[in-house]
Each structure stands twice: as structure tokens, then as C-alpha cells.
Amino acid sequence: MATLDDIDVGSSMTLVSLNGARTLRRRLMELGLLPGTQIRLVRRNHVGGFVEVEVRRSRVSLRLSEARNLQVTGVTS
């Protein structure tokens, strides 16, 4: 199992669980990032400190530090 912040760009994977603050989890889930959802890492910007994921046909950006709270599995490039 890995966390979203250290996945290679372009990889697809399945979200397993979300940790962290309740507001963060609620926001992610309402945007469709629920456990069991298939997602893809589109971009990682180390300078700006954020990642972008594709989920259910739309794009969501979040901080790298917050991406650490997303556990994923089945990573395929």
C-alpha cells in the first residue's frame, strides 16, 4: 500500500482509505474521491506543493501534504 504523494505521474490506482481532518475527508469524498474509486495521478508539482488527480471525469488538485492522507493500491502505470 502506498500514499498518493509518492505515486508516479500518469499512474492509475484504486483509493483505499482517507485519513486526516474531517473537513478534508468530507470534501474529497463529496468530489467523488471515495474508497474503492479508480483514480489517476495527472500531475505533481513539487515547487508549488500540490498534486492533481483525475476522478470520475473531473480534475481535483490538493496539497502534497494532504495527499499523504490518501492510501492507494493496485498502482499501474
Partner 1 sequence: MIGPLTQRRTIVVAGNPNTGKSTLFNALTGGSVKVGNYPGITVERHAGTLRLPDLTTAELVDCPGTYSLSARSHEEFLALEAVAGLPPIGRPDLVVVVVDATQITRNLYLTLQIIELGLPVVVALNMVDQLQSAGITIDAAAMAKALGVPVVPVVARNGTGVDQLKRQIAAILHAPQRVRPSWNWRPRSAKLRADVDAVSAKIPDAWADGDLERRDALALWAMLSLDDEDELRDVPTELRAVVRERRATADADGRELEREIIQSRYDWIDAHEAEFVRQTRQVTRFSDRIDRVLLHPAGGFLLFLAIMTFLFQALFTLADPLIGWIEDAFAFGQAALRDAMAPGLFADFLVDGVIAGIGAFVVFLPQILILFLFLGIMEDSGYMARVAVLMDRVMRAMRLNGRAFVPLLSGYACAIPAILATRTMDRQRDRLLTMLVIPLMTCSARLPVYGLLIAAIVPPGDRAPLQQGLLMTAMYVFATLMALVVALVLGRTMLKGPRVPLVIEMPPYRLPQARIVLRSMWQQGREFMTKAGTIILACSIAMWLLLTFPRDVTLSRDFGAERAILEATLRTSTTGDLADLEQRIAALDAEELGERTRASYAGRIGHVIEPALTPLGFDWRVGIGILGAFAAREVFVSTMGIVFGIGSDADPEDALLRARLRAATWPDGRTLFTPLVCLSLMIFFALACQCMSTLAVIARETRGWRWPAFTFVYMTALAWLLSFAVYQGGRALGFA
Q: Please give the residue ranges that form the binding site for partner 1 (CB under 8 A).
A: 20-32, 34-35, 42-43, 45-50, 52, 55-63, 66
- Nearer to partner 1 among residue 1 and residue 46 (C-beta): 46
Q: Are 20 and 69 in contact (CB under 8 A)?
A: yes
The distance of closest approach from Cβ of residue 2 to partner 1 in the complex, given in angstroms and rounded to an integer, is: 20
Distance, CA of 15 to CA of 47 (rounded, Å): 25
The distance of closest approach from Cβ of residue 27 to partner 1 in the complex, given in angstroms and rounded to an integer, is: 4
Tell the burial category of 41 from Cβ atoms under 10 Å away from its Cβ (0-12, 13-18, 19+).
buried
- Nearer to partner 1 among residue 32 and residue 75 (C-beta): 32
Residues in the chain: 77
Amino acid at 28: L
The distance of closest approach from Cβ of residue 74 to partner 1 in the complex, given in angstroms and rounded to an integer, is: 18
